[in-house]
Amino acid sequence: MSDLPAGVERRRFDGDERLATRGEPVYGEPTDGEWRAWNPNRSKLGAMLALGMETGLEGGDDETVLYLGAASGTTVSHVADVAGPTYAVEFAARPVRDLLEAADSRPRLFPLLKDARKPETYAHVVERDVNVLVQDVATRGQARVALENRRFLADDGRLLLAVKARSEDVTREPAAVFADVREELAEEYELLESRRLDDYHADHLGIVARPL
């Protein structure tokens, strides 16, 4: 199993060993004092960590993160527990209300009601040279979103992408969808690792890449 980011530990909750971060609970997850369990069944990034993928997420106040598809804050709240400035982009107004609540106790979490397919709309807010770009958007053109947001990523940064095959094309085999996504990403990224997340999320692929 790979090393975990600083601030993420394996701790026991109700007899089971789980990943955990320190912070206020967000989605009804088990807690133990200041620690909150990180549920990989509700988090693609959590699944990538649980499966031992080398994400390059290090943790620490100096690590800047851009998170695309933040929804109500389930995963990005864990990221903000361990990282520095964390920009959370979400398109739908309803989950952003929950995301704002998660940010109340996290001064390093910055919710943005924006469309990840239009990075020019938040380019004036998000600093350049972010260390980690996390993407979990349920839309067609997931590779294109990663390519369009490449502008924010530091040259030595990491893309952590969760590809949802059924959002691309519900009629095609997931393996074929994943192959197309990898091919398109290769225009601007070097793919370091990819792994199916089916243990936790059906028809999803986790990808770790770095800019070319």
Q: Binding site membership for S-adenosyl-L-methionine: which residues?
A: 74-75, 90-91, 115-116, 136-139
In one letter, which amino acid is 192?
A: L
Q: Reduced to 3 states, what is the DSSP secondary structure of residue 13?
A: strand
Cα 96 to Cα 28, 51, 70, 74, distances in angstroms: 17, 29, 8, 11
For 134, counting Cβ atoms within 10 Å of its Cβ (0-12 exposed, 13-18 middle, 19+ buried), the class is: buried
Query: CA 125 to CA 161: how far, in whole Å?
Result: 22
Q: Which residues are annotated as a binding site?
A: 74-75, 90-91, 115-116, 136-139
Q: Where in 76-129 does DSSP place strands (E)?
A: 86-90, 109-113
